[in-house]
């Protein structure tokens, strides 16, 4: 959207051009193609207001952040030629309107562009209620420069950044500022940059350099550099950006080389490293992007080679620009985007890694994002401090920030686990929190008060589950997105299997499913047809409660040898289990055990002291609920 060289891949090396303010339209068009937007706008202002002139004039103001002039010119364009204007102009006009905080008119054009309702005021109001952090920004005092950005950590007590302070550099036609170089310095306690020094000529050249990032040992640097030669892309020749690597050898930066996946045909920019230095994140408009710039990642192999760049996909990337990735020590991805819903211009977003993938991005809110461009966000999570850049004042400026928890938006879910019928507190129950992909986030066993509490995050879908032995699990889904709430009170009311099913009884030996007696032929363990019909009742119950787990146990009386009885009971229990599996019950939900004659139900503990009926009472199969 803006004037900044870091936003567009189409960076041009145009020097020594001196165009008169007045001339033919072709010369103005040439300036526009070369992204010399300041000079192009001056020339277009002298021309007849044709559709083509108004389109390029409005875009020149838009790309150079002269948003009041852009809004005025887009308005004229739509009044005169509204029926014949390409849909993309609705997007740029909408963004320009957001840049001057005219959200009502912006929404009209963005709704036409997206072909669905857009309500920025409602989005902002909702976000203000749910933003988990407040950022206290303080502009960094940086003398001798009018444009700096991309402050990043460099060693223990230094920082690095890009600056247009070198007046010996040629002026860049996009914004008439000197070309960018990389610098390092120190920050004082009162947020002032001191001891500012440029990196060596091996790093800083006559082209643009910016966005440095360093490995943990400080011996390797990745950074942006604009090509010195232009390549024809479409109808114009442009100089793309590449990511370079440099090595610190004996205190000198050397071995400066472009990474192998860079190209003269597209841009790669804004490198960011994971904490282990094994993955590089970056932005690119390479073939395969969803539109504009996308965020990519690439593996850094142990031998110094690189894998294939991988697009982070549509959860992170949109049809517009996603740039300036940063990976915190907690593997949280921060980046800037104009494609996700925001306040205007580039906004900073965060996305957590869940199951190896990044989840839906969350806007960081109005304490850090403005109606213009906010970008190059870096943070030390443990210290809750970091830096961000913004052009909200007209030029690129760097800010330090302290991050605090927003006391008004503490995200949590809490509740009590009770028996559904008796209202008794179910001490010892397990409560589990899942994300929307059914990954366990947290769990806890409730204590005497049966109370649980979990911290949660904004813009997420969750499921809470209460479980207890011999009880039916209860699942409750909830959300913290715009339709959900910040705090949730969820009472889990669990019903015991014994209360829910007549055939399930609480006994001294546990909670059991009571079935008719299962009969086996003498000295056999095969499931007879009549036994199968009895077991089908258990099959139906287990299918009704898919989390139920059962111990199948078989028992004999004391008549006959001990070892024989034990082995026979084991075979009968195993055979019963196999029948249940054959009827569709997952084997993992079943356990078989033969107890032989070791668990009689009566006094018949040896032969010759009881009647046949009394001995028969101990010959049985039992089905005890384990879970």
Contact (CB, 8 A) for 153 and 186? no
Q: Do the domain assignments include residue 83?
A: yes
Strand, coil or helix: what is 213?
A: strand
pLDDT at 236: 59
Rg (CA), the chain: 35
pLDDT at 130: 78
Least confident of 98-107, 313-322, 357-366: 357-366
From residue 490, alpha-carbon distances to 418, 428, 454, 599 in Å are: 11, 17, 11, 43
pLDDT at 2: 40
The rounded distance, in Å, linking the Cα atoms of 21 and 73 is 19
CA quadruple 67, 71, 73, 74: dihedral positive or negative? positive
Q: How do residues 538-552 score in pLDDT, each as one tens digit? A: 999 999 999 899 999
447 and 528 within one domain: no
595 vs 210 pLDDT, higher one? 210
Number of domains, the chain: 4
pLDDT at 207: 87
Mean pLDDT of 311-318: 96
- Domain extent, residue 579, equals 501-625
- When the pLDDT of each residue in the chain is averaged and rounded to a whole number, the result is 87
DSSP-assigned beta bridge partners for residue 198 = 183
Q: Do the domain assignments include residue 276?
A: yes
> Has residue 227 got a pLDDT over 90?
no
> Has residue 171 got a pLDDT over 60?
no
Percent of the chain with pLDDT over 70: 91
The rounded distance, in Å, linking the Cα atoms of 397 and 380 is 20
39 and 174 within one domain: no
pLDDT at 176: 52
Q: Do the domain assignments include residue 372?
A: yes
156 and 103 within one domain: no
Q: What is the CATH number of the domain that holds 272?
A: 2.120.10.30
Mean pLDDT of 138-150: 84
Q: Do the domain assignments include residue 125?
A: no
Instruction: Please name the residues in contact with 319: beta carbons below 8 A apart, sequence gap of 6 or more.
Output: 290, 291, 292, 339
Q: How do residues 474-533 score in pLDDT, each as one tens digit? A: 999 988 866 667 778 899 999 999 898 888 888 877 888 888 888 676 667 878 778 888
Q: Do the domain assignments include residue 10?
A: yes
62 and 156 within one domain: no
> Has residue 199 got a pLDDT over 50?
yes
Query: Which residue, 405, 424, 448, sits at the end of a domain?
Result: 405
505 and 493 within one domain: no
**Where do the H-state alpha helices sit in 422-505?**
497-500
Tokens of 235: 């109808």
> Has residue 602 got a pLDDT over 50?
yes
Instruction: Please name the residues in contact with 423: beta carbons below 8 A apart, sequence gap of 6 or more.
Output: none
417 and 399 within one domain: no
Instruction: Please name the residues in contact with 250: beta carbons below 8 A apart, sequence gap of 6 or more.
Output: none
506 and 491 within one domain: no
Mean pLDDT of 16-24: 43
The rounded distance, in Å, linking the Cα atoms of 609 and 627 is 38
Percent of the chain with pLDDT over 90: 55
Q: Do the domain assignments include residue 124?
A: no
481 and 523 within one domain: no
505 and 447 within one domain: no
Mean pLDDT of 284-297: 93
Least confident of 380-389, 436-445, 609-618: 609-618
- Which span out of 30-44, 275-289, 453-467 was modeled with the highest average pLDDT? 275-289
pTM: 0.72
Contact (CB, 8 A) for 254 and 211? no
Q: How do residues 64-103 score in pLDDT, each as one tens digit? A: 888 999 999 999 999 999 888 999 999 999 999 999 999 9
496 vs 33 pLDDT, higher one? 496
16 and 101 within one domain: yes
User: Phi and psi of 499, rounded to 5°?
Assistant: -80, -30
Which of 482-502 are b and which e, b meaning 16 or more Cβ less than 10 Å from the residue's Cβ?
eebebebebebebebbbbebe
The rounded distance, in Å, linking the Cα atoms of 385 and 326 is 14
Instruction: Please name the residues in contact with 19: beta carbons below 8 A apart, sequence gap of 6 or more.
Output: 27, 31, 36, 39, 43
> Has residue 15 got a pLDDT over 80?
no
First to last CA, the chain: 58
Q: What is the CATH number of the domain that holds 566?
A: 3.30.1330.60
Kindly indicate the confidence band of residue 18, based on its pLDDT and cuts at 50, 70 and 90: very low
Q: What is the CATH number of the domain that holds 59?
A: 1.25.40.10
Query: Which residue, 497, 518, 545, sits at the end of a domain?
Result: 497
Q: Do the domain assignments include residue 375?
A: yes
Q: DSSP for 276-318?
A: TS-EEEEEE--TT-SSS-EEEEEEB-TTS-B---EE--TTT--
Kindly indicate the confidence band of residue 230, based on its pLDDT and cuts at 50, 70 and 90: low
Contact (CB, 8 A) for 621 and 518? yes
Query: Which residue, 87, 118, 149, sits at the end of a domain?
Result: 118
318 and 260 within one domain: yes
312 and 166 within one domain: yes
Characterize the bridge pairing of strands 412-419 and 492-496: parallel
Q: Do the domain assignments include residue 359?
A: yes
Q: Closest by alpha carbon to 568, among 620, 523, 618?
A: 523
What is the distance of C-alpha 320 from the center of its chain?
A: 18
pLDDT at 9: 36
């Amino acid at each position: 959207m803006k004037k900044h060289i870091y936003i567009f891949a189409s960076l041009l090396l145009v020097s020594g051009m001196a165009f008169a303010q007045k001339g033919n339209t072709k010369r103005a068009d040439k300036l526009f193609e070369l992204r010399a937007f300041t000079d192009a706008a001056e020339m277009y202002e002298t021309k007849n207001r044709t559709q083509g002139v108004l389109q390029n004039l409005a875009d020149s103001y838009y790309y150079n952040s002269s948003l009041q002039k852009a809004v005025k010119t887009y308005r004229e364009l739509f009044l005169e030629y509204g029926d014949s204007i390409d849909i993309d102009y609705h997007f740029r006009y909408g963004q320009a309107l957001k840049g001057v905080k005219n959200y009502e008119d912006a929404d009209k054009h963005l709704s036409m562009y997206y072909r669905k309702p857009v309500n920025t005021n409602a989005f902002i109001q909702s976000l203000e209620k749910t933003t988990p952090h407040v950022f206290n920004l303080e502009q960094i005092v940086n003398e001798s420069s009018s444009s700096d950005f991309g402050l990043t950590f460099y060693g223990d007590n230094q920082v690095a950044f890009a600056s247009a302070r070198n007046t010996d550099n040629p002026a860049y036609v996009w914004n008439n500022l000197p070309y960018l170089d990389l610098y390092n310095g120190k920050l004082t306690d009162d947020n002032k940059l001191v001891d500012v020094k440029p990196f060596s000529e091996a790093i800083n050249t006559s082209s643009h350099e910016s966005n440095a990032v360093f490995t943990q040992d400080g011996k390797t640097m990745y950074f942006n550099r604009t090509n010195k030669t232009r390549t024809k892309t479409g109808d114009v020749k442009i100089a793309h950006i590449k990511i370079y690597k440099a090595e610190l050898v004996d205190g000198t930066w050397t071995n400066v080389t472009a990474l192998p996946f860079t190209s003269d045909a597209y841009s790669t920019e804004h490198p960011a490293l994971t904490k282990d230095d094994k993955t590089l994140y970056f932005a690119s408009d390479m073939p395969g992007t969803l539109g504009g710039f996308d965020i990519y990642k690439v593996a850094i192999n142990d031998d110094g080679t690189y894998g294939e760049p991988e697009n982070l996909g549509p959860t992170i990337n949109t049809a517009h620009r996603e740039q300036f990735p940063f990976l915190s020590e907690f593997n949280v991805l921060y980046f800037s985007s104009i494609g996700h819903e925001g306040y205007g211009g580039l906004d900073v977003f965060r996305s957590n890694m869940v199951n190896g993938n990044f989840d839906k991005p969350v806007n960081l809110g109005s304490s850090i994002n403005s109606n213009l461009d906010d970008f190059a966000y870096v943070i030390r999570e443990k210290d809750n401090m970091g830096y961000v850049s913004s052009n909200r004042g007209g030029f690129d400026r760097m800010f330090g920030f302290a991050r605090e928890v927003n006391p008004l938006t503490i995200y949590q879910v809490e509740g009590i686990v009770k028996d559904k019928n008796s209202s008794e507190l179910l001490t010892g129950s397990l409560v589990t929190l899942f994300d929307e992909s059914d990954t366990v986030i947290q769990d806890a066993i409730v204590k005497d008060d049966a109370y649980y509490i979990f911290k949660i995050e904004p813009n997420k879908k969750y499921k809470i589950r209460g479980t207890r032995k011999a009880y039916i699990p209860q699942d409750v889904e909830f959300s913290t997105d715009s339709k959900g709430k910040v705090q949730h009170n969820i009472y889990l009311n669990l019903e015991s299997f014994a209360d829910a099913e007549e055939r399930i009884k609480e006994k001294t030996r546990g909670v059991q499913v009571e079935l008719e007696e299962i009969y086996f032929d003498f000295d056999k363990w095969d499931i007879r047809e009549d036994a199968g019909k009895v077991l089908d009742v258990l099959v139906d119950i287990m299918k009704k409660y898919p989390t139920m787990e059962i111990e199948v146990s078989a028992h004999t009386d004391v008549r006959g040898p001990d070892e024989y009885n034990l082995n026979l009971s084991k075979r009968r229990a195993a055979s019963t289990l196999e029948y249940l599996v054959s009827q569709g019950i997952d084997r993992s939900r079943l356990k078989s055990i033969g107890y032989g004659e070791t668990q009689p139900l009566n006094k018949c503990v040896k032969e010759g002291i009881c009647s046949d009926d009394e001995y028969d009472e101990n010959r049985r199969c039992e089905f005890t609920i384990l879970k």
